[in-house]
Chain A
């Protein structure tokens, strides 16, 4: 049964002082599936994401990656195995594009880290020859975010975690990147967990959408099912708000 799920959270709870960030959350992401975590700030979606690469350790419950309990493994090795794209790109400003993209292969000690970086840059639609020698500050916001995605993919992980990866981009650039990402994840067969506050993005990219509210998982369902049969008042309100915005 574990074979089927790449990521799993079982009754995971996390408190920060009096604030309950996660309240007995259970979630599975199947191999090759893309699940979007959606909810407002403070809903616990980012906290849950960070449990999967141990940037956060839960107080209770179990977190599994590829069927193994992350608590019993080495967090550094886990993080090098799981791709990660933060909202702001998080490129190292004092490293050129190629070195940034080569980070994880370099951490693995790969001799061909630069070649891997170039391949990943091409995957995300960048001209590696032209971009590799540039500094991050010389890139546009969209290019920076592409490099961040390339960096997450360079070591060919099976699993990628994305924390509002396209949130800070303008609408056109965002649409571009969403298209690239959609194609890529199918092509590479990636398992992805995507945090977003944008329902349209979730519907576009995800196989299933997990709605979080106040540290609880309100509903997890395919986009169409979510629209047709919202399970709670909160989900219904969320859908209504999104429709107004559209």
Chain B
């Protein structure tokens, strides 16, 4: 009975979700909106928003998928055509995507990355936007003064006494810490992996002494940091440019033409100013993007008013958390609904698989432990990694998020079903058999009812884990309460982070309590 209801609501929920998740193909009629994406940091948001507004100003419908996980996730989504365009940097393209060594000449790097991306993946690099945003190694002004630091060679001298807080990206990449170590002999006393959103605060608070940033970061100005000069020209050129999906140039020349209007127009000082407005002053990305486009004479001013998603931060400008949550209630409610849907659909699917599988394994016994342990291993794969693995198969959006959450839900339910049914009152089961119950009757009338509380406990565990894990769905554009968390992290906006995190926590409590009630209902014997 439970299973049948589960399967039905699962089907219903899938029907509800899929139109939003599927990627409608351009099958005649009106072309589908151009999907504009960004990576999860301020400048990427800003550039993507500029792309989207520019397209809209040229009468081309655009859909935003901002804040996708990281380089690997965004580029994989682009290759697959799950997104159409996002801003990328030539140095990143060469090193992190093509795995080739860069040269110091920006023109040559651009030419190589554009040629090879096209040959290998069909991905097109549009002309550069006009500025570089290379890595910047920054220290507090006090540290620079005390240790007489001006260049990276100076830093290499004192590195072993300092603690570095670096983005995980940077720690692993060839053009990051490993390369820096080879070029400068740079070593640190300690390297801590810090997300972009927290590393500036960590540096300002003295938790670490050195961080990596981007040369156009607005926060460098805010915290009065010193950027050390790359005196051996280690960092390759990082020219920003739109990259577009395979086939888009042929299919939608209008899109390429519109985006190309931006080429060469954006300069570093202007970008640093825009970034500061977004990251430090907390201005809505949409407003800054609209100003930037208007300032370049590409659009008329105030084009972005009324865009509720990206004007999110417009709210009460610097009000406290509660007024902010109140002002955002409709958006948050929508995100909560999506979040709940992700959790519910993945959980129901997991129940529909794990409970019968647990029963089958209990009958078979042989190999049961091995299967359950294998499912348990899934639990150890970090969420973002699991999601990244699935992009080549499933693209981005709701479907891979559901699959990831589904996989995470299996183990607690499977383990509890198996154990619960196996250990259900053995003497009662023995007597039921001796008095002529069929195995099917024993399962239905004895084992399952007696195992129900344990199975429900597994479902509860899975549900609460799921509510938390579902916040990662934002990194692959599936929405939910992870959206404001990811944006808030990228834009260093604590209020925005909390506007996702608090409802998510509340949701976990509500889901747990609700399932607790169900558990009381299924508990056999009153």
B-binding residues in A (CB < 8 A):
53, 55, 76-81, 84, 86, 88-95, 103-104, 107, 135, 137, 148, 151-152
B2 at the interface (CB under 8 A from A): no
23 intermolecular pairs with C-beta atoms under 8 Å apart: A55-B434, A76-B438, A79-B436, A80-B435, A80-B436, A86-B431, A88-B427, A89-B431, A90-B428, A90-B432, A91-B431, A92-B425, A92-B428, A93-B450, A94-B449, A94-B450, A94-B525, A103-B435, A107-B435, A135-B525, A135-B526, A137-B525, A152-B435
- Whether B525 and A55, one on each chain, are in contact in the complex, defined by CB atoms closer than 8 angstroms, is no
Chain B residues whose CB sits within 8 angstroms of the CB of A90 once the complex forms: 427-428, 430-432, 434
Chain A residues whose CB sits within 8 angstroms of the CB of B437 once the complex forms: 103, 107
B446 at the interface (CB under 8 A from A): yes
B433 at the interface (CB under 8 A from A): yes
- Whether B524 and A79, one on each chain, are in contact in the complex, defined by CB atoms closer than 8 angstroms, is no
What CA separation (Å) do A78 and B524 show in the bound complex? 29
Query: Which B residue sits closest to A92, measured CB to CB?
Result: B428
Chain B residues whose CB sits within 8 angstroms of the CB of A77 once the complex forms: 436
A-binding residues in B (CB < 8 A):
425, 427-428, 430-438, 441, 445-446, 449-450, 524-526
Given contacts A90-B430, A91-B431, A94-B524, 15 further A-B pairs with CB under 8 A are A55-B434, A84-B431, A86-B427, A86-B430, A86-B431, A88-B427, A89-B427, A90-B428, A90-B432, A92-B445, A93-B428, A103-B435, A107-B436, A107-B441, A148-B431
Chain B residues whose CB sits within 8 angstroms of the CB of A81 once the complex forms: 436
What CA separation (Å) do A159 and B481 show in the bound complex? 66
What CA separation (Å) do A148 and B450 show in the bound complex? 19
State whether A93 and B525 are in contact (beta carbons under 8 Å apart), knowing that A84-B431, A86-B430, A88-B427 are contacts in the complex: yes
What CA separation (Å) do A153 and B437 show in the bound complex? 16
Query: Which B residue sits closest to A99, measured CB to CB?
Result: B445
Contact pick for A91, options B428, B436, B441, CB 8 Å = B428
Chain A residues whose CB sits within 8 angstroms of the CB of B436 once the complex forms: 76-81, 104, 107
Minimum CB–CB distance for B67 against chain A, Å: 50
Chain A residues whose CB sits within 8 angstroms of the CB of B425 once the complex forms: 92-93
What CA separation (Å) do A104 and B437 show in the bound complex? 8
What CA separation (Å) do A53 and B436 show in the bound complex? 9
- Whether B435 and A104, one on each chain, are in contact in the complex, defined by CB atoms closer than 8 angstroms, is yes
Contact pick for A92, options B434, B438, B446, CB 8 Å = B446
Minimum CB–CB distance for B247 against chain A, Å: 61
What CA separation (Å) do A76 and B438 show in the bound complex? 7
Minimum CB–CB distance for B245 against chain A, Å: 58
Chain A residues whose CB sits within 8 angstroms of the CB of B524 once the complex forms: 93-94
Minimum CB–CB distance for B332 against chain A, Å: 42
Minimum CB–CB distance for B447 against chain A, Å: 11
What CA separation (Å) do A94 and B425 show in the bound complex? 10
Chain B residues whose CB sits within 8 angstroms of the CB of A84 once the complex forms: 431, 434-435
Chain A residues whose CB sits within 8 angstroms of the CB of B428 once the complex forms: 90-93
Chain A residues whose CB sits within 8 angstroms of the CB of B435 once the complex forms: 79-80, 84, 103-104, 107, 151-152
What CA separation (Å) do A77 and B435 show in the bound complex? 9
